[in-house]
């Protein structure tokens, strides 16, 4: 009983864990935007020693981003958003809030699959004008303005007064950053008025959205050859940038969570097996404890079928009780566990229903043998056993 | 090889115009228990014939094989040698389901150790045979309570065996044996735990059942109990040592029960 109880709870928890991690990964990846390619400066190839580590060199520029956006050179690329990120302190009166300031173009919203909660997004005109306007995340808005509507409010960064023209809709957080705590400004404003200096035309990341899901690899190739050409690099092996696709991330993530699921399923199956043996033992014990009862019932005229049926019903009830209790334990565990470990547990009705069904099946399967044994006993032999 | 005197009633019975097929017909029956190297012949060549409507007492010292004989008669055990015909049917040719049905419909058994289920109340114990006879719950309860009333336990219907005295438990066992109106009642020491008043009540009940035409076989140690029967079979070491009509039978009774098997075969006290 305890075995099957723990077995079922384990199944529900592991299924919940697998599902949770899958959903978490899926949410993180879809938070990046759909059909997305991410161009990062630097190279991951081992021969790239002189260029330093991944992401450290500022080899991508606003010009690269502009070139990639060309429909002629790269017809499979739908939208491009170069991003230049700096961390700055934003001031509203006496309130200070340090957040990441993201300089980008008007296409960022589409490329990152974000929506606005209010106001408008930055425009091409804002970029042309190096306008001091900003679209801020919902957390940032709360930090700076509390509950008042952020649209139309102002803040100061690096001595420049920005006007908030829009607020992003809540998106949660991915593994590293809070997607709701950032300020989006025109990239030209950031480059010229906030950062300046020699690196003012460099970007930290270029996000490329393929025109459609089917054009993702074509877009990847176009972006690679275009950037190699722009950077005067002949061999793709010595590229000073890296393009990673959301797909690649997704497949890595799913393969990881698949391994996890297989592992967890193995553990769950094992505990179910142990639970099944437990049920069988209980049935065997109850048979020997109740041998006299069986003998008596047979003596009073119970046909072997009735005895078998009685034991099967008992096994089923036992399995069902174990399944239900196990499910309750599992659901309770799924509620409590996330407080101790930082994982998301998703209790799926399928896992609960399925494991209860498994418990009943185990009860019946392991009830067959003891029931058959009980029914085979000669009435008087059973009655005599003390 | 089988003792001639004990087979005598059989021969006479065949010629008796009042009966056709005997209810119980054992011929050369042996039961051998093999425990380890030792094998015990609990029954050793028993030939016994009991006709419908007979009231037979089986007597004998402890360990003589009385219960074993009763279990064979009740189809609760299989015999090692010989043949057993129950109401004309060869028991060895019946399958488990047939035997279950025979035990259920035709035989009421009172066990020496009562064998009540401790978790069930008195009436639930009594209703057990009727469950397998397929009666509705309402009918089962009504009949169970009626049977308990007949044994004088109608005020203990909802008591569990643990809450009853030994004599009361025995009476529940008797109620369970007669609840299904079986034609054959086999009782292994049904009065063993009863005081003289209760014994008298129980014997009155058996008399009543006998008067209704039921065949009754009961095991007892007490001569006064055996004397209520019309025929006394004595057993020793697995053999029948005497099979006699009760001395009073000829005087008291119309000849239905007056088996002329009154051969005094050997001195079995
Ligand atoms: N299951 C068994 N295995 C081995 N021997 C047995 C078994 N049952 C009974 N015997 C033996 O068979 C013999 C007859 O036993 P039985 O129970 O029929 O006696 P009994 O006449 O009913 O005695 P009592 O008056 O004490 O109830 C005894 O010697 C007993 O030890
Ligand atoms: Mg006995």
Confidence of residue B247 (pLDDT cuts 50, 70, 90): low
CA closest to A296 among chain B residues? B115
Q: How many CA atoms lie within 13 A of A348 on its CB side?
A: 14
pLDDT at position A13 over 70: yes
pLDDT at position B20 over 60: yes
Cβ separation of A303 and B117 shorter than 8 Å? Answer: no
Between the ranges A266-280, A325-339, B251-265, where is the mean pLDDT highest? A325-339
In a domain, B49, yes or no: no
Q: Which atom of ligand 1 is nearest to the CA of B31?
A: 12
* Residue A197 touches chain B, beta carbons under 8 Å: no
pLDDT at position A49 over 70: no
More confident residue, A51 or B158: B158
CA closest to B131 among chain A residues? A302
* Residue A308 touches chain B, beta carbons under 8 Å: no
More confident residue, B103 or B15: B103
A149-158, B86-95, B192-201: the lowest-pLDDT one: B192-201
Q: How far apart are CA A119 and CA A165, in angstroms?
A: 6
More confident residue, B184 or B263: B184
pLDDT of residue B268: 40
Does any ligand 1 atom lie closer than 6 A to the CB of residue B35? yes
A138-147, A328-337, B176-185: the lowest-pLDDT one: A328-337
Strands A116-119 and B38-50 turn out to be unpaired
Asked if A164 and A153 touch (Cβ cutoff 8 Å), the reply is yes
pLDDT digits (tens, 9 = 90+) for B217-231: 999 988 888 988 989
Burial of A368: CB neighbours in 10 Å, binned 0-12, 13-18, 19+:
middle
pLDDT at position B260 over 60: no
pLDDT of residue A163: 93
pLDDT of residue A314: 80
pLDDT digits (tens, 9 = 90+) for A237-284: 777 888 887 667 667 666 776 777 777 777 777 777 777 777 677 766
Q: Give residue limits of the domains in chain A.
A: 2-25+251-383, 58-239
Q: Which atom of ligand 1 is nearest to the CA of B69?
A: 18
pLDDT of residue A342: 66
Cβ separation of B76 and A299 shorter than 8 Å? Answer: yes
What mean pLDDT comes out for the span B2-21? 45
Complete DSSP assignment for B154-212: TT-TT--GGGS-HHHHHHHHHHHHHTT--SEEEEESTTTT--HHHHHHHHHHHHHHHHT
What mean pLDDT comes out for the span B152-158? 93
In a domain, B219, yes or no: yes
More confident residue, A58 or A109: A109
Q: How far apart are CA A206 and CA A201, in angstroms?
A: 13
In a domain, B19, yes or no: no
Q: Which residues contact B215 (CB under 8 A, 6 or more apart)?
A: B23, B24, B50, B51, B52, B53, B54, B55, B183, B184, B185
What mean pLDDT comes out for the span A158-172? 88
pLDDT of residue A58: 63
Confidence of residue B215 (pLDDT cuts 50, 70, 90): very high
pLDDT of residue B26: 95
- For B252-262, b/e burial (b = at least 16 CB within 10 A) is eeeeebbbebb
What mean pLDDT comes out for the span B140-164? 94
Say what percent of chain B tops pLDDT 90: 64
Q: How far apart are CA B230 and CA B253, in angstroms?
A: 9
In a domain, B41, yes or no: no
pLDDT of residue A371: 67
pLDDT at position B30 over 90: yes
Q: Return the SS3 of B73.
A: helix
More confident residue, A276 or A64: A64
Distance from CA of B97 to the nearest CA of A (A): 5
Backbone angles phi, psi at A385, to 5 degrees: -65, 125
Q: At what angle do helices A246-289 and A291-299 cross, to 10 degrees?
A: 60
pLDDT of residue A310: 83
pLDDT of residue B145: 95
Mean pLDDT, all residues of chain B: 84
Confidence of residue A374 (pLDDT cuts 50, 70, 90): low
Mean pLDDT, all residues of chain A: 80
pLDDT of residue A50: 44
Confidence of residue A1 (pLDDT cuts 50, 70, 90): low
β partners of residue A161: A156
Interface probe for A, chosen from B66, B68, B100 (most Cβ of A below 10 Å), is B100
- For A49-59, b/e burial (b = at least 16 CB within 10 A) is eebeeeeebeb
Confidence of residue B7 (pLDDT cuts 50, 70, 90): very low
The model carries a pTM of 0.61
Number of domains in chain B: 1
pLDDT of residue A33: 62
pLDDT digits (tens, 9 = 90+) for B168-180: 999 999 999 999 9
pLDDT at position A54 over 50: no
Does any ligand 1 atom lie closer than 6 A to the CB of residue B170? no
Distance from CA of B161 to the nearest CA of A (A): 14
Residues of chain B in contact with residue A301, where contact means CB-CB under 8 angstroms, are: 100-105, 129, 132-133
Residues of chain B in contact with residue A303, where contact means CB-CB under 8 angstroms, are: 96-97, 100-101, 132
pLDDT at position A344 over 80: no
Confidence of residue A28 (pLDDT cuts 50, 70, 90): low
pLDDT of residue B72: 94
Backbone angles phi, psi at A77, to 5 degrees: -90, 125
CA distances from B95 to A139, A223, A291 (A): 81, 84, 21
Find the domain containing B123 and state its range: 54-75+95-258
Among B102, B128, B133, select the one facing A297 at the smallest CB separation: B128
CA distances from A216 to A42, A114, A201, A237 (A): 22, 20, 27, 21
CA of B66 to the centre of ligand 1 (A): 8
Confidence of residue B148 (pLDDT cuts 50, 70, 90): very high
Cβ separation of A303 and B109 shorter than 8 Å? Answer: no
Residue nearest to atom 19 of ligand 1 (CA): B63
Residue nearest to atom 28 of ligand 1 (CA): B63
pLDDT at position B4 over 90: no
Residue nearest to atom 16 of ligand 1 (CA): B65
pLDDT at position A233 over 90: no
pLDDT digits (tens, 9 = 90+) for A176-208: 667 889 999 999 888 888 887 777 788 888 988
More confident residue, A212 or B98: B98
Asked if A283 and B115 touch (Cβ cutoff 8 Å), the reply is no
What mean pLDDT comes out for the span B68-96? 93
CATH number at residue B152: 3.40.50.300
pLDDT at position A46 over 50: no
ipTM of this predicted structure: 0.83
What mean pLDDT comes out for the span A79-108? 90
More confident residue, A216 or B268: A216
């Amino acid at each position: 009983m305890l075995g099957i109880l723990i077995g079922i709870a384990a199944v529900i928890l592991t299924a919940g864990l697998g599902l949770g991690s899958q959903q978490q990964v899926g949410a993180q990846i879809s938070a990046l935007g759909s059909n997305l390619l991410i161009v990062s400066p630097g190279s991951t190839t081992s021969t790239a020693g002189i260029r330093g580590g991944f992401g450290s060199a500022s080899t991508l520029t606003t010009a690269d981003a502009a070139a990639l956006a060309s429909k002629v050179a790269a017809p499979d690329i739908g939208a491009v958003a170069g991003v230049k990120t700096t961390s700055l302190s934003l001031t509203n009166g006496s309130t200070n809030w340090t957040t990441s300031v993201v300089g980008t173009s008007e296409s960022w919203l589409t490329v990152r699959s974000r929506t606005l909660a209010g106001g408008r997004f930055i425009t091409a005109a804002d970029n042309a004008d190096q306008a001091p306007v900003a679209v801020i995340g919902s957390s940032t808005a709360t930090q700076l303005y509390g509950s008042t509507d952020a649209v139309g409010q102002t803040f100061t960064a690096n001595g420049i007064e920005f006007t908030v023209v829009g607020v992003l809709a809540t998106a949660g957080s991915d593994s590293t950053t809070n997607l709701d705590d950032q300020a989006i400004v025109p990239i030209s404003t950031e480059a010229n008025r906030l950062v300046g200096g020699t690196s003012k035309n460099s970007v930290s990341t270029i996000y490329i959205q393929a025109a459609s899901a089917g054009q993702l690899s074509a877009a990847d190739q176009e972006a690679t050859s275009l950037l190699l050409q722009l950077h005067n690099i002949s061999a793709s092996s010595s590229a000073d940038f890296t393009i990673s696709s959301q797909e690649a991330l997704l497949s890595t993530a799913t393969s990881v969570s698949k391994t996890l699921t297989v592992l967890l399923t193995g553990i769950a199956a094992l505990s179910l097996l142990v639970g099944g043996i437990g049920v069988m033992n209980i049935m065997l014990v109850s048979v020997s404890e109740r041998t006299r009862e069986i003998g008596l019932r047979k003596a009073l005229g119970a046909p072997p079928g009735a005895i078998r049926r009685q034991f099967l019903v008992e096994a089923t009830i036992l399995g069902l009780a174990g399944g239900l209790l196990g499910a309750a334990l599992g659901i309770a565990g799924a509620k409590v566990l996330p407080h101790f470990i930082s994982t998301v547990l998703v209790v799926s009705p399928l896992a609960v229903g399925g494991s209860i069904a498994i418990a009943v099946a185990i009860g019946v399967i392991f009830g067959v043998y003891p029931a058959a044994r009980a029914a085979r006993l000669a009435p008087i032999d059973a009655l005599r056993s003390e | 090889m089988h003792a001639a005197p004990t087979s005598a009633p059989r021969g006479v019975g065949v010629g008796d115009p009042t009966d056709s097929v005997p209810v119980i017909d054992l011929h050369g029956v042996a039961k051998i228990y093999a425990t380890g190297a030792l094998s015990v012949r609990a029954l050793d060549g028993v030939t016994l014939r009991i006709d419908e409507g007979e009231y037979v007492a089986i007597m004998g010292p402890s360990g003589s094989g009385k219960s074993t004989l009763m279990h064979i008669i009740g189809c609760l055990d299989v015999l090692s040698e010989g043949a057993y015909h129950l109401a004309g049917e060869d028991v060895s040719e019946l399958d488990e389901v047939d035997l279950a049905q025979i035990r259920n419909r035709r035989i009421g058994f009172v066990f020496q150790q009562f064998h009540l289920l401790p978790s069930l109340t008195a009436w639930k114990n009594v209703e057990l045979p009727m469950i397998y006879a397929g009666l509705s719950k309402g009918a089962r309860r009504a009949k169970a309570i009626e049977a308990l009333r007949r044994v004088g336990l109608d005020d203990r219907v909802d008591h569990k065996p643990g809450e009853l005295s030994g004599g009361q438990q025995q009476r529940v066992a008797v109620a369970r044996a007669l609840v299904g109106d079986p034609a054959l009642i086999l009782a292994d020491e049904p009065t063993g735990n009863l005081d003289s008043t209760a014994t008298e009540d129980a014997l009155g009940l058996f008399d009543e059942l006998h008067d209704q035409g039921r065949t009754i076989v009961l095991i007892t140690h007490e001569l006064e109990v055996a004397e209520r029967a019309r025929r006394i079979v004595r057993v020793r070491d697995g053999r029948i040592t005497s099979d006699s009509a009760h001395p009073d039978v000829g005087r008291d009774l119309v000849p239905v029960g007056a088996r002329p098997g009154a051969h005094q075969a050997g001195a079995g006290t």
